[in-house]
């Protein structure tokens, strides 16, 4: 009998990892996802846990999309001995080339600073989770596929990717595996997109499954309608302009940044963006935005057409006043601006990156408006701001929070509760539903909502093993 083991993203949103043991003539171990844990006091320790035994036992790895909480530990898996294929979509491979290299560089810089401090204190230096050479090997092992392509895997398993509508290249994963003399259809939602979000197509519906792993990030609430969120965003921009302050937007480099730039462009052409300067202050987000532009055919063509029409087909007119700041020196210059600017910078949960420097210079000003446009995991600085902290630690300093904080949930790239229920309702024959990628409150609320719709769902525990 084949089994499924929940190794991550249960009771939390990050650290996605699931192990499928395929009971065939020659047993095969398949790893679905290899995500980095982000936020919380134990994340660093858990990311550093040995992976050698797992790495050397695996035959194949499958990745749903390029966010680090789903794929950020791939180089560590390779570093500790995995030498098999890593299956993903073609666009995901392009994103991983950006995301993993950036992650290795950031970790390297942070580790160098931390080890200097530890050595001065007479403590043992820490080891890197992985380095650029490990990223190179991981990327070499990636095998790209198109949506709908049927891929034969070891253990007589079959793989198909479907469009999840979350970010460029994101996929719903279908796995068909032998188990106890029969075949079982496993469907992993990955991160399901928010239907109606710009640039992305709506998530595909899947009807056939025996076992479903479904994300529950927003299982306890719905997002505001897109039109209301855009209006709220416009009003925040207007208020910041009138008060003479800056607008800070901590944004994920993949998906959220591109959506925000889309909205800013539309607001500009509607005459509702009074700020004359818009900075994208994230080298990684700049590279990802360029990747989106190159892969425009993979995006929602209605939105692409609307951008072209409003700009008269001239890219430089999409968002006049836009500036991509790649260098540290350019980023530092922004901190001299005390008002009238929109500053988009990573990281999306304020756990690192250039947004921290902008928060340092702007948090104490009541004229500053901070737009939180995505999920903030427990234990992150972004979550503290959302929860109303009056002071926070930033770059080793305790800073007062006088800035105005705005949470605009309609910009989320995740499906809300209503959309999750609709997606789950498309399955026939009542498959076993396991709720993953959600904090406790969200998972329990989604389970109750599913039950009210006649669908039974299970909340798995970490390292729980279930038969397929």
* Best CA proximity match to 158, nearest among 208, 96, 201, 97: 208
The whole-angstrom separation of Cα 399 and Cα 105 is 27
Evaluate whether 62 touches 31 at the Cβ level (below 8 Å).
Answer: yes
pLDDT at 414: 92
DSSP secondary structure letters along 170-202 = -EEEEEEEEETTEEEEEEE--S---TT-SSSPP
pLDDT at 63: 98
Evaluate whether 85 touches 143 at the Cβ level (below 8 Å).
Answer: yes
Q: Which residue has the tokens 């994300």?
A: 215
The whole-angstrom separation of Cα 43 and Cα 8 is 11
Q: Which residue segments constitute the domains of the chain, with CATH numbers given? A: 3-221+414-467 (3.60.15.10), 226-411 (3.40.50.10890)
Evaluate whether 171 touches 156 at the Cβ level (below 8 Å).
Answer: no
Q: Which residue has the tokens 């095969």?
A: 28
Q: Rounded to 5 degrees, what are φ and ψ at 269?
A: -75, -15
Count of CB atoms situated within 10 Å of the CB of 202: 18
Buried b (16+ CB within 10 A) or exposed e, 43-69: beeebeeebeebbeebbbbbbbbbbbb
SS3 content of the chain, % helix, strand, coil (to 5): 35, 20, 40
Q: How is residue 417 written in tokens?
A: 């509760």
Count of CB atoms situated within 10 Å of the CB of 123: 11
The tens-digit pLDDT sequence of the chain (468 residues) is: 899 999 999 999 999 999 999 986 678 999 999 999 987 778 888 999 999 999 999 999 999 999 999 999 999 999 999 999 999 999 999 999 999 999 999 888 888 888 888 889 889 888 899 999 999 999 999 999 999 999 999 999 999 999 999 999 999 999 999 998 899 999 999 999 999 889 999 999 999 999 999 999 999 999 888 899 999 999 999 999 999 999 999 988 898 899 999 999 999 999 999 999 999 999 999 999 999 999 999 999 999 898 888 776 666 688 999 999 999 999 999 999 999 999 999 888 998 889 999 999 999 999 999 999 888 888 899 999 999 999 999 988 999 999 999 998 788 889 999 999 999 999 998 999 999 999 999 999 999 999 999 999 999 999 999 999
Geometric angle at alpha carbon 384, from 245 and 421, rounded to 5°: 105
* Helical (H) or strand (E) element with 98: helix 90-120
Q: State pTM to two decimals.
A: 0.90
User: Can you tell me whether residue 118 is helix, strand or coil?
Assistant: helix
pLDDT at 312: 66
Is residue 119 reached through a cis peptide bond, with omega within 30 degrees of 0 on the bond before it? no
The whole-angstrom separation of Cα 28 and Cα 311 is 53
């Amino acid at each position: 009998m084949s089994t499924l083991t929940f190794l991550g993203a249960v009771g939390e949103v990050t650290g996605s990892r699931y192990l499928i043991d395929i009971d065939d003539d020659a047993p095969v171990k398949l790893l679905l996802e290899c995500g980095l844990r982000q936020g919380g006091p134990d994340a660093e320790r858990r990311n550093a846990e040995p992976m050698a035994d797992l790495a050397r036992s695996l035959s194949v790895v499958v990745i749903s999309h390029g966010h680090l909480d789903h794929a950020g530990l791939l180089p560590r898996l390779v570093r500790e001995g995995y030498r098999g294929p890593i299956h993903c979509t073609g666009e995901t491979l392009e994103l991983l080339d950006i995301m993993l290299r950036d992650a290795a560089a950031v970790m390297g810089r942070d580790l160098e600073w931390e080890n200097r401090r530890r050595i001065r204190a007479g403590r043992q230096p820490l080891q890197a989770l992985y380095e650029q050479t490990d990223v190179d090997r991981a990327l070499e092992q990636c095998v790209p596929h198109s949506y709908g392509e049927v891929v034969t895997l070891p253990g007589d398993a079959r793989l198909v990717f479907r469009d999840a509508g979350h970010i460029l290249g994101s996929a719903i994963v279908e796995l068909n595996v032998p188990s106890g003399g029969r075949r079982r259809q496993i469907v992993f939602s990955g991160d399901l997109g928010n239907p109606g979000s710009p640039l992305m197509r709506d998530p595909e519906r899947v009807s056939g499954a025996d076992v479903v792993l479904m994300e529950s990030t927003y299982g306890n609430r719905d997002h505001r309608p897109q039109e209301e969120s855009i209006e709220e965003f416009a009003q925040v921009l207007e208020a910041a302009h009138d008060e003479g302050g800056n607008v800070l937007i901590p944004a994920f480099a993949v998906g959220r940044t591109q959506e925000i730039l889309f909205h800013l462009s539309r607001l500009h052409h509607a005459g509702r963006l009074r700020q004359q300067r818009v900075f994208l202050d994230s080298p990684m987000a700049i590279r990802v935005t360029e990747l989106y532009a190159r892969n425009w055919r993979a995006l929602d063509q209605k939105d692409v057409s609307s951008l072209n029409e409003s700009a008269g087909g001239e890219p430089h007119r999409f968002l006049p006043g836009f500036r991509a700041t790649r260098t540290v020196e350019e980023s530092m210059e922004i901190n001299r601006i005390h008002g009238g600017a929109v500053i988009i910078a990573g990281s999306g949960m304020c756990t690192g990156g250039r947004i921290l420097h902008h928060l340092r210079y702007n948090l104490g000003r009541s004229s500053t408006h901070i737009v939180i446009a995505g999920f903030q995991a427990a234990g992150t600085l972004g979550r503290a701001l959302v929860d109303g902290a009056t002071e926070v630690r930033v770059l080793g300093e305790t800073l007062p929070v006088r800035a105005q904080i705005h949470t605009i949930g309609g910009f989320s790239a995740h499906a809300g509760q209503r959309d999750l229920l609709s997606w789950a309702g498309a399955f026939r024959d009542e498959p076993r539903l396991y709720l993953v990628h959600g904090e406790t409150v969200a998972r329990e609320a989604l389970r109750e909502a599913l039950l009210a719709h006649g669908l039974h769902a299970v909340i798995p525990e970490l390292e729980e093993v279930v038969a397929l």
